[in-house]
Amino acid sequence: MIKLKLILAFIVFTHNAFAQDAFTSEDLLVMNDSIQLPGTLTFNPKLKSQPLVIFVHGSGNVDRNGNQAMMNANANYIKMLNDSLVSKGIAFYRFDKRTATQSNIKFIMTDMIFDRFVEDINHIINRFKDDKRFSSISLIGHSQGSLVAMLVDHTHIDKYISIAGPSNSIDKIMVEQVRFQNGDSLASKVDSHFKELAEKGSIENVNPMLISLFNKPTQPFMLSWMAYNPAEEIKKLKLPILILNGSKDIQVATTEAENLHQANPKSELVIIDNMNHVLKTIEKDEDNMASYMSPDFKLSQELVEVIETFIKK
């Protein structure tokens, strides 16, 4: 029995080693004027042609692996999705969001506009649009990135995937989040600030309790972000659409995915049981937040299978 276990362990190790050897990773630097967008392209060089996925991050200073150093978040979910899809013959490009690269900060602070995220993705698309190694290009937009991926130039994009994408504009989302966490009184103040921002372009006197949300450098960013309603933007898309959400997502409810699907009924909608916001399978509710801080929780395999089927069909 011991000898059999050793043989099986050797087989598994050898298989994993060969699988890793089949992949090639290239570090690439894409520039958007002074903004650096370093990333990693992973693919199987033995395949003459393969589909390519470009991953578009959610909010925050998210790096190419799906981690946020400032938040001590170490879920590693983008890297895990990368490895899973590449093993299925789907190339994957992931990059450090402009907010995750320290050298970008001095430029970002003087130009905090939501549309800059869209420009970044357009530059990345241009890097790959004529690359003959790839048979198609699909965008995966996660959370905030769902809207970003809706807004890019889709001339060279074949398919669009939304994961945990909100259906409402950010002002409505923030009002309801504050209402849920802090009650009606503070939510009404948030609503009032957003209305003043929309009407006047700035907020004269920010409530001290809301300074982190409405500080002066952030106001132009919030104003530009709230101009977009995802439920309206998704109606404009003419390419194949897959909308995904997890039943254990505590940041974006499954009703948001359902609303996006209703806005564009030609889309496909899949609610993945027990998947949370960082794409992990969660059996116990108490493990949900813990999975943000650790790479030890397993990526949803249903997520991988649904994406593979959609991209390859």
Domain boundaries, the chain: 24-166+228-312, 170-227
Asked if 249 and 223 touch (Cβ cutoff 8 Å), the reply is: no
In b/e form, how buried is each residue of 230-265, taking b as 16+ CB within 10 angstroms? bbebbeebeebbbbbbbebbebbbbebbebbbebbe
State residue 110's pLDDT score: 81
According to the model, what pLDDT value does residue 111 have? 87
Q: What does the pLDDT profile of the chain (313 residues) look like in tens digits?
A: 444 444 444 344 434 433 455 899 999 999 999 999 999 999 999 999 999 999 999 999 999 999 998 778 999 999 999 999 999 999 999 999 999 998 998 888 888 899 999 999 999 999 999 999 999 999 999 999 999 999 999 999 999 999 999 999 999 999 999 998 899 999 999 999 999 999 999 999 999 999 999 999 899 999 999 999 999 999 999 999 999 999 999 999 999 999 999 999 999 999 999 999 999 999 999 999 999 999 999 999 999 999 999 999 9
Task: Give me the residues paired with residue 43 across strands.
Answer: 24
* pLDDT for position 61: 93
114, 225 Cβ separation under 8 angstroms: yes
Question: Does CATH place domain 24-166+228-312 in 3.40.50.1820?
Answer: yes
Q: By the 8 A CB rule, do 43 and 51 touch?
A: no
Q: Which residue(s) pair with 242 in the sheet?
A: 161, 268
pLDDT at residue 112 in the model = 87
User: Closest Cα partner for 247 from 226, 274, 266?
Assistant: 274
Looking at residue 197, its pLDDT comes to: 97
In this predicted structure, what is the pLDDT of residue 279? 98
